Amino acid sequence: MKILAIASVLAAITAGSAGAEPLRIGTSADFPPWGYTDTAGDIVGFDREVGDEICKRIGADCAWTNQSFDGLLASLQVGKFDLVISGLSITAERAKQVDFSKAYADAPYHIATIKGGALAATKTRAELEAALEGKAIGVQTGSTHEAVANTYFKNADVRLYERNEQIADDLAAGRIDAGLLEQSVWEELMKAREGKLELAGPMLTSADYAEFGNGQGIALKQGREDLKARVDKAIVDMISDGTIGKISTKFFGYDLSYKG
C-alpha cells in the first residue's frame, strides 16, 4: 500500500510538471539591479523575480538565457525566445517588430561623467546638451539611449557598446566623457567604481525625450495573443496587489511599478 501511495504521489508531481507550459525567456544580464549574474553565474535581479512571478501566475515553466541586448529582439522574432524581459522600453519603433505586454515599470534615466568633471556642474537639460557638444558619450547599442543620443546630442561623438559595464569602465578610464543609462543602473555601476563617477544634469524621462518610450514592458513575437493576454493579466494583478512595488523596493529602494 505504501509503495502504491508513493507511486501515486510521484505520478501526480510528474503530471503537474508535464502540464506546465514551457517558455523561454531572453534577457541581457548586464543591467543591475534589473538583471545581472551572481557569483554562481545565475541570472538574478528585478526582472528575474518579476518574470518568475509572472511564470508562476500563468502556469509556465520558464527557462532563462543571458545574451547581448542588441540581439534580443531579433532572437525573439526567429523563435529562439517566447518572451524578452530586460528592462525593455516600450517604443513605437520597437512595436513595429514585436508585441509588448502592458508596462510593468517606469524608470528614470541619467547622464553620468567622471567625478569632478566639467559636465558634473550642469543642472538643466539645456546646460547638459550644450556641455555635451563635441564630447564622447557612450550608450548601449540597440537601446533607447542610443536613439536619444543620436537625436538630441547631434554634435557629440556617440559611441556604441555591447555591455553597460563597458561604458562605465571607459568613462572611469577617461576614454569617453559621458554615458547615458537608466538611473538605477548608474547607481550600481558607480558603487563598483568607488567614487570615480557621478551623475550630471537632471533626471531624464520620456517627458524630456519621447524616445525613452512608455515604461518598460515584456516583448513577445507578434501574433501570440493568448500568451500576451495572460502575461498582461498577471502584470495588472501584480501592480494592483503590490507585488511589483515590493520587488522593485527590494532592488531599487523605491517603487518603480508603472502607474500610467
Domain boundaries, the chain: 2-106+215-252, 109-212
Q: What is the pLDDT along the chain (260 residues), one digit of tens a residue?
A: 444 444 444 444 444 445 789 999 999 998 889 999 999 999 999 999 999 999 999 999 999 999 999 999 999 999 999 999 999 999 999 999 999 999 999 988 999 999 999 999 999 999 999 999 999 999 999 899 999 999 999 899 999 999 999 999 999 999 999 999 999 889 989 999 989 999 999 999 888 998 998 999 999 999 999 999 999 999 999 999 999 999 999 999 889 999 87
- Residue 143 grid coordinates: 537601446
User: Which CATH number does the domain 2-106+215-252 belong to among 3.20.20.60, 3.90.1150.150, 3.40.190.10, 3.40.50.150?
Assistant: 3.40.190.10
User: Which CATH number does the domain 109-212 belong to among 3.40.1370.10, 3.40.190.10, 3.40.50.1000, 3.40.190.170?
Assistant: 3.40.190.10
In this prediction the pTM is 0.74
C-alpha dist (Å) from residue 146 to 18, 65, 72, 218: 42, 24, 16, 20
- Residue 167 grid coordinates: 561604458
Measured CA to CA, the distance from residue 91 to residue 69 in angstroms comes to 16
| Fold equal for 2-106+215-252 and 109-212 | yes
Burial class of residue 107 (count of CB atoms within 10 Å of its CB; 0-12, 13-18, 19+): buried
Greatest Cα pair distance, the chain, in angstroms, is: 80
Measured CA to CA, the distance from residue 158 to residue 247 in angstroms comes to 34
